[in-house]
């Protein structure tokens, strides 16, 4: 059987990357310590235990994949790389994993640790777990932040797993916020159009791979195959009794229930990934919970958003950049050196570095970048730079913008593009959710590229001679 969350915790602890904290309160204290931890160097994973009002053993994990080292550990990537070399490895890995999806269909098993405790009827109690109120102004306690929301397409039978936020409404009801267009949203729509409630499972504690694959825009319905391809062995799933949906056999906590067609309850506000409470409280679909499954001494996995850099920002930058790089390559853009989201801006600020080959190459790369799947949602700026600029290095990128772009000719605005209800720049309520985006061409002008002033630099042989001669500069 593949490694579960507990095996993962052991490995992380052995590396000295796990900090255990006792006696934090679920009401904002776990959230505040989690946010403070994002800025610490090194930034360990935090395992909260003995949480105020809860028995010892009912734990909360945060920061699971906050750092390069734990992302690599979780995904079996080589360690010690960063920047463009790591990006290159990850984008090749995505190609490899995607080519192996058919070899790793999930395996249905009849039993597993998640069945250690089954709560139904009046025993269903979401607040049996130390669900944090993550930020001071949140509208409630969010049990689902690092979660996997599992639904099935009623027409094709395809199963999807997506990370969508889940707020506790009362002991047997949650809210569920899914943006229009998400795969889970499409499933909800189909059930509701047929006048039926949508069956749903929400896994809120599991190996970090489960929710990290669920929050990536992998092809529709391939999440469990992907997890298998990354691990090199199939994921084991148990068919949940009341919904008929599959749940990870080694999950820590799984909620099973139904999203009714016509019921909405106030949800939010919630501290978002861009650093704002951008969606006000408003009606959102709910889950009427029928069962809860949990392991003994369960671990709730949290990945609260917040002002970046945050729990999720590094992971999303690395993975989404690699996926977008592959998308652009497939779309036919030649000579890409790198594509990189910014850790503070995420997909709102993307840089692409190219070796300019023909007139219009830079605009082609930038315009496509702004519209492909991984960037279309809430992108704001795409900067295109030459091949000597490292898109993973913000100093390099800002230098190129400052010194090579000509605002008069180098900035194009695209209007009425895809935004979101969490866009902080849109005043709510809004008639429609559009944003605009800017393409910043910070490349040397193609028509006189060979005459462009030479960059002040030192030849590599001079640099290495200095490092040999003055040893304190080596390394």
Ligand X SMILES: Cc1cc2nc3c(=O)[nH]c(=O)nc-3n(C[C@H](O)[C@H](O)[C@H](O)COP(=O)(O)O)c2cc1C
Task: Return residues touching ligand X (CB under 6 A).
Answer: 145, 160, 162-165, 177-179, 182-184, 215-217, 303, 305, 312, 316
269 versus 410: smaller Cβ distance to ligand X: 269
- Least separation in angstroms between CB 414 and ligand X: 21
150 versus 383: smaller Cβ distance to ligand X: 150
- Least separation in angstroms between CB 151 and ligand X: 9
- Least separation in angstroms between CB 380 and ligand X: 17
- Least separation in angstroms between CB 468 and ligand X: 45
- Least separation in angstroms between CB 460 and ligand X: 39
303 versus 369: smaller Cβ distance to ligand X: 303
Residue 101 near residue 225 (C-beta atoms within 8 A): yes
183 versus 337: smaller Cβ distance to ligand X: 183
- Least separation in angstroms between CB 226 and ligand X: 11
- β-pairing, 148-152 vs 159-162, is antiparallel
Q: What is the largest CA-CA distance in the chain?
A: 77
Q: Which backbone phi and psi does 357 adopt, to 5 degrees?
A: -110, -25
- Least separation in angstroms between CB 263 and ligand X: 19
135 versus 182: smaller Cβ distance to ligand X: 182
Which residue from 412, 414, 417 is spatially nearest to 441, judged by alpha carbons? Answer: 412
- Percent helix / strand / coil, the chain, rounded to 5: 30, 25, 40
Q: Please, how many CA atoms are within 13 Å of residue 247, restricted to the half-sphere of its CB?
A: 35
For ligand X, which residue has the nearest CB? 162
Instruction: Encode 275-289: b = buried (16+ Cβ within 10 Å), e = exposed.
Output: ebbbbeeeebbbbbb
80 versus 157: smaller Cβ distance to ligand X: 157
Q: How far apart are CA 149 and CA 325, in angstroms?
A: 27
Q: Burial of 313 by CB count in 10 Å (0-12 exposed, 13-18 middle, 19+ buried)?
A: buried
* Paired strand residues for 168: 174
Spell out the alpha helix ranges (H) of 100-205: 183-193
């Amino acid at each position: 059987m593949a490694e579960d969350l507990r095996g993962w915790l052991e490995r992380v602890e052995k590396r000295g990357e796990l900090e255990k904290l006792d006696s934090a309160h679920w009401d904002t204290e776990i959230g505040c310590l989690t946010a403070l931890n994002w800025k610490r160097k090194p930034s360990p994973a935090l395992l909260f235990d003995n949480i105020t009002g809860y028995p010892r053993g009912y734990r909360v994990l945060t920061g699971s994949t906050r750092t390069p080292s734990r992302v690599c550990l979780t995904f079996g990537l080589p360690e010690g790389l960063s920047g463009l070399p790591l990006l290159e490895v990850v984008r090749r890995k995505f190609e490899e994993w995607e080519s192996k999806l058919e070899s790793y269909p999930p395996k249905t098993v009849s039993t597993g640790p998640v069945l250690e405790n089954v709560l139904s009827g009046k025993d269903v109690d979401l607040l049996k777990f130390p669900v944090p109120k993550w930020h001071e102004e949140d509208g409630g306690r969010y049990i689902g932040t690092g979660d996997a929301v599992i639904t099935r397409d009623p027409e094709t039978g395809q199963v999807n797993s997506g990370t969508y936020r889940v707020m506790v409404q009362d002991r047997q009801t949650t809210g569920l916020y899914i943006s229009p267009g998400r795969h889970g949203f499409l499933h909800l729509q189909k059930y509701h159009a047929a006048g039926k409630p949508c069956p749903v499972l929400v896994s809120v504690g599991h190996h970090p791979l489960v929710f990290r694959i669920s929050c990536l825009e992998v092809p529709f319905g391939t999440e469990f195959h992907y997890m298998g391809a990354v691990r090199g062995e199939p994921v084991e799933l148990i068919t949940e009794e009341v919904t008929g949906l599959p749940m990870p056999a080694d999950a820590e906590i799984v909620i099973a229930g139904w999203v009714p067609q016509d019921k909405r309850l106030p949800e939010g506000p919630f501290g978002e990934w861009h650093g704002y409470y951008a969606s006000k409280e408003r009606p959102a679909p709910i889950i009427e919970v029928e069962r809860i499954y949990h392991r003994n001494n369960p671990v709730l996995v949290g990945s609260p958003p917040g002002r970046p850099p945050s729990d999720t920002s590094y992971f999303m930058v690395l993975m989404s950049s690699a996926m977008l790089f592959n998308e652009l390559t497939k779309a036919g853009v030649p000579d890409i050196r790198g594509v990189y989201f910014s850790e503070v801006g995420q997909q709102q600020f993307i840089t692409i570095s190219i070796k300019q080959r023909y007139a219009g190459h830079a605009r082609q790369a930038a315009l496509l970048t702004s519209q492909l799947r991984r960037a279309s949602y809430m992108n704001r700026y795409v900067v295109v730079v030459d091949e000597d600029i490292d898109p993973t290095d913000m100093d390099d990128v800002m230098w190129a913008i400052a010194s090579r772009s000509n605002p008069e000719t180098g900035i194009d605005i695209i209007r009425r593009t895809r935004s979101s209800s969490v866009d902080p720049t849109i005043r709510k309520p809004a008639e429609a959710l559009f944003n605009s985006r800017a393409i910043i061409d910070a490349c040397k002008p193609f028509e006189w590229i060979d005459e462009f002033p030479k960059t002040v630099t030192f030849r590599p042989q001079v640099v290495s001679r200095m490092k040999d001669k003055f040893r304190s500069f080596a390394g």
